[in-house]
Copies of this chain bind each other. A is one copy, B any other.
Amino acid sequence: MKFSIKRTAFIQGINMVSRAISSKTTIPILTGLKLTASEEGLTLTGSDADVSIQTIIDSADEDNELTVSEPGSIVLPARFFSGIVKKLPDEKMTLSVTNGFQTEITSGTSSFTINGLDAADYPHLPEINNDNEISLSGDVFKEIINQTVLAVSNQESRPILTGVHFILKDQTLFAVATDSHRLSQRKVELPDNQGEYDVIIPGSSLRELSKMISDDTENVKMKISENQVLFTIGNTFFYSRLLEGTYPDTSRLIPKDSETDVQFDAHELLGAIERASLLSHESRNNVVKLTINASDKKVTISGNSPDVGNVEEDVDTNSLSGNDLEISFNPDYMKDALGAFGHSMINVSFTSPLRPFTLVPSEDGENFIELITPVRTF
């Protein structure tokens, strides 16, 4: 195996697949990065057994300055190899497997010889035998992930809740996540009939995937087999295992009616919650209180810590209707929820101090809803 390549193109590929490589793995060969050179290009693979990422650097793309003079495969120690490639002195570099699995890397007057591993021992990537492929624009898919993954549980006690539930049915993609204290749900209509699915994708995989979707990403394709999902972004393939089990029915959790409705600027409300949380974080039970005085049209946020002090702040509202209310909640859930709305206007609907309340965008409120369960403080 022997090839030469432009270093920046190689580094980009290495960074991509390195997201899947963990030094903490119990399978030694997975600390390595697999390289396969063929006439068509150079294939890089990284995996931690749960997630695998493969990317192809195309020979036909002149920007890569890739010349494969001898096809072949090798596995190289990932962290260390990536460190070398990034530090090499010249714009170009040459890599050749010389003697057994010994690999020589040269650039300028610098020459490294490192010990590789047999690529035949590297695990095979999952096979996805499914012609049915969903295709979504990059920005929409990234939005779906970011709006739902925030409500995923990070407790291993109920593994199924560490994933996002994706349902495709009747030309609608439906994504929902809940950690049983809060819930986040997003709906997207698909342009044409793209089949039916019902899968649970690990939140950690989606977080990694989301980082790989840039403003340049035109679309993300998604293909599902029995226990794996494959996302395709350009020349890069992202495999993740699916979570097994039945996701709880979340449809009944969302209240149908409300007693008090307030319209806020999400960003302004976030500021007030952040300030109140400075105090609640110093307290053992991390709770912030929202007080609605319907006749005075006044909303007050307050936080308090017996050791340190207290804070109170009036928040502007765009409209306010319904009953007076005093409700307490974990400000960190509220911060996550509000962060997903950016600077837009939102409608917050309450039923009673101990019933979950909802946040939806004031415009297009059908397709995105967040729900937070309050905290009993009396």
What is A's interface to B at a CB cutoff of 8 Å? 77, 80, 83-84, 87-89, 102, 108-115, 271-272, 274-275, 278-279, 282, 307-315
Give Cα distance in the complex from A309 to B83, angstroms: 14
Residues in B neighbouring A83, C-beta threshold 8 A? 278
Q: Contacting A310 at CB < 8 Å: which of B80, B113, B275, B278?
A: B113
Residues in B neighbouring A109, C-beta threshold 8 A? 313-315
Give the shortest distance, in Å, between A301 (CB) and chain B (any CB).
Answer: 9
Give Cα distance in the complex from A315 to B278, angstroms: 55
Residues in B neighbouring A271, C-beta threshold 8 A? 87, 89
Give Cα distance in the complex from A196 to B313, angstroms: 58
Q: Given A89-B271, A110-B272, A275-B87, are A80 and B311 neighbors across the interface (CB < 8 Å)? A: no
Give the shortest distance, in Å, between A347 (CB) and chain B (any CB).
Answer: 22
Known: A84-B311, A110-B275. 8 other contacts (CB 8 A): A87-B274, A87-B275, A88-B275, A102-B309, A110-B312, A112-B279, A114-B308, A115-B309
Give the shortest distance, in Å, between A201 (CB) and chain B (any CB).
Answer: 35
Give Cα distance in the complex from A102 to B308, angstroms: 10
Can you sample 15 A-B contacts with CB below 8 Å? A77-B308, A80-B282, A80-B308, A83-B278, A84-B311, A87-B271, A89-B271, A108-B313, A109-B314, A111-B311, A111-B312, A112-B275, A112-B309, A114-B308, A115-B308
Are the C-beta atoms of A278 and B113 separated by less than 8 Å?
A: no
Count of chain copies: 2
Are the C-beta atoms of B278 and A110 separated by less than 8 Å?
A: no
Residues in B neighbouring A77, C-beta threshold 8 A? 308
Give the shortest distance, in Å, between A320 (CB) and chain B (any CB).
Answer: 16
Give the shortest distance, in Å, between A90 (CB) and chain B (any CB).
Answer: 11
Give Cα distance in the complex from A40 to B232, angstroms: 65
Are the C-beta atoms of B87 and A278 separated by less than 8 Å?
A: yes
Give Cα distance in the complex from A115 to B305, angstroms: 10
Q: Closest residue of chain B to A282, judged by CB?
A: B80
Residues in B neighbouring A111, C-beta threshold 8 A? 311-313
Q: Contacting A278 at CB < 8 Å: which of B80, B89, B108, B274?
A: B80
Give the shortest distance, in Å, between A42 (CB) and chain B (any CB).
Answer: 21
Give Cα distance in the complex from A83 to B310, angstroms: 14
Are the C-beta atoms of B313 and A110 separated by less than 8 Å?
A: yes
Residues in B neighbouring A312, C-beta threshold 8 A? 110-111
Q: Closest residue of chain B to A303, judged by CB?
A: B112
Residues in B neighbouring A87, C-beta threshold 8 A? 271, 274-275, 278
Give Cα distance in the complex from A108 to B110, angstroms: 61
Q: Closest residue of chain B to A316, judged by CB?
A: B109
Are the C-beta atoms of A278 and B84 separated by less than 8 Å?
A: yes
Residues in B neighbouring A309, C-beta threshold 8 A? 102, 112-115
Give Cα distance in the complex from A313 to B105, angstroms: 12
Give Cα distance in the complex from A110 to B277, angstroms: 13
Give Cα distance in the complex from A305 to B235, angstroms: 35
Give Cα distance in the complex from A368 to B340, angstroms: 55
Residues in B neighbouring A314, C-beta threshold 8 A? 109
Give Cα distance in the complex from A298 to B309, angstroms: 70
Give Cα distance in the complex from A50 to B110, angstroms: 47
Give Cα distance in the complex from A315 to B89, angstroms: 11
Q: Contacting A307 at CB < 8 Å: which of B102, B112, B115, B310?
A: B115
Identify the interface centre among A108, A114, A309, A313: most chain B CB within 10 Å of its CB.
A309
Q: Contacting A311 at CB < 8 Å: which of B102, B113, B275?
A: B113
Are the C-beta atoms of A112 and B274 separated by less than 8 Å?
A: no
Give Cα distance in the complex from A275 to B105, angstroms: 12
